[in-house]
């Protein structure tokens, strides 16, 4: 079984795997448009985490509400993990619980630059569709940034999720151009710097947040 991670699974897989491949899926857009009330927020103060929007649906419904249209909008970088046969059932049960807040399983091919042939066929991908109960949809970037900055849940602060994802993605896919993610990162860092009071305090805070944001050692940058 192959599993593709495009969010926290990039920097915190928390599962046993025997191989991994950096690559991308086609035809989808990654956005912080999914509410998190179980990991990075609460029912009273939901956080925001990433989901995938089919590019055709994104183009038809959301381009007027989104300012990050680029020539890479139809690809999403991440990491595919190969789960040992002996761990498939256990891992699937763990992931179903981990992604229970509105996500469903899909099967998508994984590609790498320079080839039209998938490097992995039909990897499992957890996606929160636009009709799931926790889909938050688009909002002004400043409002999303403030929500991420102020929310926290059982798995920790929402900003840890955002900053770790941006940090890890730059390492595993330096050619990736996720303007939505990186613009949110910049705005959240502005809020952190404002409240830290000094560049030194900000740097210390940031180092404590991303200290565990290490991509899997087996995954090599493409």
CA 115 – CA 78 distance, rounded (Å): 17
SS3 letters across 51-113: EEEEHHHHHHHCHHHCCCCCCCCCEEEEEEEECCHHHHHHHHHHHHHHCCCCCEEEEEEEECC
Q: Does 99 participate in catalysis according to the annotation?
A: yes
Nearest to 37 by CA among 163, 138, 154, 161: 154
Q: How many residues does the chain have?
A: 222
Q: Which of 99, 183, 185, 200 is catalytic?
A: 99
The residues assigned a catalytic role are 99
């Amino acid at each position: 079984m192959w599993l593709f991670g495009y969010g926290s699974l990039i920097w915190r897989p928390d599962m046993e795997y025997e191989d991994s491949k950096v690559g991308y899926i086609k035809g989808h857009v990654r956005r912080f448009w999914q509410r998190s009330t179980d990991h990075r927020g609460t029912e009273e103060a939901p956080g925001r985490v990433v989901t995938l929007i089919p590019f055709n649906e994104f183009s038809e419904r959301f381009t007027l509400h989104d300012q990050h249209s680029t020539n890479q909008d139809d690809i999403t970088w991440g990491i595919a993990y190969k789960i040992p046969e002996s761990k498939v059932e256990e891992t699937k049960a763990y992931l179903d619980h981990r992604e229970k807040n509105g996500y469903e399983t899909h099967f998508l091919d994984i590609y790498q630059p320079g080839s039209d042939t998938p490097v992995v066929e039909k990897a499992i991908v957890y996606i929160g569709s636009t009709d799931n109960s926790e889909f938050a949809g688009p909002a002004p970037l400043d409002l999303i940034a403030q929500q991420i900055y102020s929310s926290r849940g059982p798995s920790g602060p929402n900003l840890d999720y955002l900053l770790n994802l941006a940090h890890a993605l730059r390492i595993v896919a330096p050619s990736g151009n996720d303007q939505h993610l990186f613009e949110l990162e910049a705005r959240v860092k502005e809020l952190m710097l404002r409240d830290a009071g000094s560049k030194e305090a900000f740097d210390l805070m940031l180092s404590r947040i991303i200290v565990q944001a290490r991509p899997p050692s087996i995954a090599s940058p493409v």
